[in-house]
Amino acid sequence: MDRPIVGLHLDEDGGRVAELARGHFPHVRHDPPWANRPWTQKPDGRAGVLGRCSPAAGATLAPPIPHVACEPRPRFAPAEPGL
């Protein structure tokens, strides 16, 4: 489920952490080639992701793009008839 990023901070080891609206705090490290997040390196890049939606775990956040509001998604897909 996508969640808006409401803030960013550094953990005790200096790793960048996203603060998501629902209280989750995933790391958003820039560690090429495994995690390519250059937007974490400069203040304007970090400011550009505030309010944007964070993708599901394991995905990377693309460079800042114009703001798009998060849309709620159903928690579970509806069951097919006859199952």
Q: Which residues pair with 10 in a beta bridge?
A: 16
pLDDT of amino acid 57 = 45
Strand-pair partners of 37: none
Q: Do strands 16-20 and 53-54 pair parallel, antiparallel, or not at all (unpaired)?
A: unpaired
Instruction: Measure CA 24 to chain center.
Output: 10
| pTM for the predicted model, two decimal places | 0.58
- Pairwise CA distance, residues 54 & 57, whole Å: 9
Which tokens in the block code for residue 48?
């550009």
Angle, CA 27 vertex, CA 22 and CA 28 arms, to 5°: 105
- Strand, coil or helix: what is 53? strand
| Predicted pLDDT of residue 27 | 86
pLDDT (tens digit, 9 = 90+) per residue, 26-79?
A: 888 877 777 788 888 888 888 888 888 875 544 555 555 455 566 666 666 667
